[in-house]
Structure 1
Amino acid sequence: MTRYFRDYPARTGDRKLFKMEHYLELYDELLGGWQGRDVSFLEIGVYKGGSLPMWQGFLGPASRLVFLDIDPTCAALALPGTVVEIGDQADPAFLDRIGRAHGPFDLIVDDGGHQMHQQIASFRHLWPQLADRGLYIVEDVHTSYWPGFGGGLREPASFIEFAKDLIDRMHSWYTEDDAGFPLHPLAREIGGIRFHDSLVVIQKRLKEAPVAITAQNGQVVRSRRMLEVRGRRSIF
């Protein structure tokens, strides 16, 4: 496994990097296969600019690297080969412009203002700009438990509760309540959701309805009957 992220803090220059330490090991595990790949990358949140050289050194030399921040002074922190856009991550018009100008993206990281309305608005407007097999990562979701950020334990408006709802939407193929819990379009787009300490990762995977198979003597039979029958008492 690569140690790029875990070893990176010892290689930093004068730009300050602020990350939860355990994110670095998670990124080595989660993104090891991305190292050196030429991708389209977006990070929300520039702060002191410390993450720009980190991502630039990790991703391929032909990658498109875009960073967003609400603070106009962050524009001066752009490095050669990167773009820093200034705007509000909760502003739909700004996010739509970013998508048109720079999308689609393979990897999106939200390390912005960490307010509930910001994280949710950014996801809603940028998820359509995420490419198939791409990852959408939201950092510092512990703010979902802080009232000062619009959160609180089981606060309906928190990003954590929003992400829990995405789990239901991903599984809405299997509904037996067509009126109360209908099939949601995101079922065709979310491949998986991983919850880590303070961090949520949502994988985009465009797909058709799930298929169950039976196989015997090399003969494979495919069926979507599991999605169609109501009132089941057996999985078979």
Structure 2
Amino acid sequence: MMNDLKALYIQHKGKSSDKWNIYLDVYERILSGRRDKISNVLEIGVQNGGSLEIWSEYFPFAKNLIGCDINPECAKLKYNNPAVQIIIGNSSAPEVKDEVVSKTSCFDLIIDDGSHTSSDIIKGFLQYFPLVSDGGVYIIEDLHASYWETFEGGLHYPYSSMAFLKKLADITNYEHWGIEQSPKDYLSPFFEFYNCKEMDVVDYHGIHSVCFVNSLCIIEKKKMEENILGPRYVTGDEWSVFSNNKESQGLNIKCIPQNKNIWSTLKTFPEMEWRALVDEKQILERKILSLKQESDAYAIEMQEKMREFSEVLSEKEQRLDNLSETNLQLLNSTSWKLTKPLRVVMSMLKRK
């Protein structure tokens, strides 16, 4: 009897690895029934390499257990199992993807445990989800980072990896949208923002399910015909409460057109519109602050000029007071009084 994944982790003595408890429980639930069928695994993010050792035990018939890491130190890791292979480089780079594909072009399981930044998660999905086999699983770990600004995230940040993955849940219901819009166009604002539109070669009709668990997203891939709602099954022969669906056996759902529904025909996601408003608000706040600083500087300049003007005015008033005092002294002087007759005669002569 094979040990479950948690037991393998607890008993492991080789290269170090760490996974949160809930991851081990989820992996066991979704992977235990296919352990002997999984042949090719890709794990983005190697670190000390322990998880690849554990996967090699958990999947005993795996032919390719490929780890990809940007850290060149990971190239020094050695394994007894020849199925384990290490590729060094940025997983989002085309040449690294080409090297991965050179090993095998189809994976039963892909795990993204890389940088955890939103841009890398989205680019990684575009690059590697097309390599998942029908019936395979694509898992993204440590999505708690998508709520943190340093990882290009935030609870309401419209371009976070979680915001993108939530939109993939809409893709599973594509046949009910009722508008002429493709999944590629629907998701294009993310690709334009992260400048990765040319990477998008995903067949979105292959997305069967998008499941969220704490810090995990599990995306299952199946053939397109397995992802549609399909015909309706009606059974039973008692119709005492509701009988409108009595003749619905074998019928497919009819989508109600939503071309006039403003909430279905928006040019972009409402939260992205809010992002533009938030950016505009921040720009206006910076302008207001700049104007206030200019106003404060101008007020200081005016105060300084008023001070200088007051000093000049005070000086002139002092001079005027001094002149007035001198003039008064002159008018009261003896010489001014003695020369008064002369001034009178001179004034009379001027009038002639």
Coarse TM-score class (shorter-chain normalised): 0.7 to 0.9
- State the superposition RMSD in angstroms: 2.3
Q: What secondary structure does 1:120 align onto?
A: helix
Residue number among 90, 98, 101 corresponding to 1:99 in the alignment: 101
Q: What secondary structure does 1:68 align onto?
A: strand
One-letter amino acid of the counterpart of residue 127, structure 1? F
One-letter amino acid of the counterpart of residue 212, structure 1? P
Query: Distance between the aligned counterparts of 1:101 and 1:9, measured in 2?
Result: 27
Partner of 1:40: 40
Deviations 1:138-170 (A, max 9, x none): 000000001111111121221100101111122
Partner of 2:221: 204
Q: What secondary structure does 1:127 align onto?
A: helix
The within-5 A match list for 1:7-22 is: 7-22=7-22
Partner of 2:257: 230
Query: Distance between the aligned counterparts of 2:5 and 2:78, measured in 1?
Result: 21
Q: What secondary structure does 1:136 align onto?
A: strand
Structure 1 pair 225/29, CA: closer, same or farther in 2 (3 Å)?
closer
Deviations 1:204-231 (A, max 9, x none): 011234323244589995333424x436
Structure number with the bigger relative contact order (C-alpha 8 A, sep ≥ 6) is 1
Query: Distance between the aligned counterparts of 1:201 and 1:61, measured in 2?
Result: 23
Unpaired stretches in structure 1, ≥5 consecutive residues: 232-236
4+ runs deviating over 4 angstroms: 216-221
Query: Distance between the aligned counterparts of 1:136 and 1:206, measured in 2?
Result: 15
Unpaired stretches in structure 2, ≥5 consecutive residues: 185-202, 238-246, 259-352
Structure whose CA Rg is larger: 2
Partner of 2:344: none
Deviation at 1:72, TM superposition (A): 1.1
Partner of 1:193: 210
Q: What secondary structure does 2:220 align onto?
A: strand
Matching of residue 213 in structure 1 with residue 232 in structure 2: yes
Deviation at 1:9, TM superposition (A): 2.8
Deviation at 1:198, TM superposition (A): 0.5
Query: Distance between the aligned counterparts of 2:204 and 2:234, measured in 1?
Result: 26
The within-5 A match list for 1:1-236 is: 4-79=4-79, 80-81=81-82, 82-178=84-180, 182-184=181-183, 186-208=203-225, 209-215=228-234, 221-227=249-255, 229-230=256-257
Structure 1 pair 221/62, CA: closer, same or farther in 2 (3 Å)?
same
Between Structure 1 and Structure 2, the one with more helix by share is 2
One-letter amino acid of the counterpart of residue 156, structure 2? R
Deviations 1:167-215 (A, max 9, x none): 112211101233xxx2437552111011000000000011234323244
Deviation at 1:55, TM superposition (A): 0.1
Q: What secondary structure does 1:155 align onto?
A: coil
Moved more, 113-122 or 126-135: 113-122
One-letter amino acid of the counterpart of residue 224, structure 1? N
Moved more, 114-123 or 12-21: 12-21
Q: What secondary structure does 1:132 align onto?
A: strand
TM-score by length of 2: 0.59
Deviation at 1:3, TM superposition (A): 5.9
Q: What secondary structure does 2:175 align onto?
A: helix
Quick check: 2:208–2:222 contact (8 Å CA) kept in 1?
A: yes
Residue identity (%): 29
TM-score by length of 1: 0.86
Query: Distance between the aligned counterparts of 1:66 and 1:78, measured in 2?
Result: 13
Quick check: 1:144–1:151 contact (8 Å CA) kept in 2?
A: yes
